[in-house]
Amino acid sequence: MEPNQHELYEYARNRIKQKKHLFIHFIIFFVGSIFLFVANHWLSYHDEINWWIWAATIWLFIFIFHCIKVLITDSFMNKNWERAQIDKLMLKQTKKIEQLKNDLENSKSLEP
């Protein structure tokens, strides 16, 4: 397998793995919310308040953050984005080094 194909394969494999974990998280969230409801109402565990709603809401926010990470952030902040950022920073550093060299040469030429 060529290095480029291998890289594409690894990226696809990682994305599928992330989406699989997201789906598993959703299933656990759904079943866990039902369990929290049952524990609160049918098992009469502190049934004077609806605490399961708070627990499920917090869990929902965690799931939403997981969705954002997998479906939005990781879809465009991948290896190509990292490489572009590294190249951009290296170019800046190279320009700065060249500018410093030019300044040093200019200051040497001005000295008597």
What would the mean pLDDT of 94-102 be, rounded to a whole number? 90
Q: How many CA atoms lie less than 13 Å away from 109 in the CB half-sphere?
A: 6
What is the structure's pLDDT at 49?
Answer: 84
pTM metric for this prediction:
0.67
pLDDT digits (tens, 9 = 90+) for 63-93: 999 999 998 888 777 777 888 888 898 999 9
Q: In this predicted model, what pLDDT tens digit does every residue of 44-66 receive, in sequence order?
A: 777 788 888 999 999 999 999 99
- For 52, other C-beta atoms within 10 Å of its C-beta total 21
Per domain, the residue ranges of the chain are 1-77, 78-112
User: Is residue 112 pLDDT above 70, yes or no?
Assistant: no
Q: Which amino acid is at 69?
A: K
- pLDDT for residue 42: 83
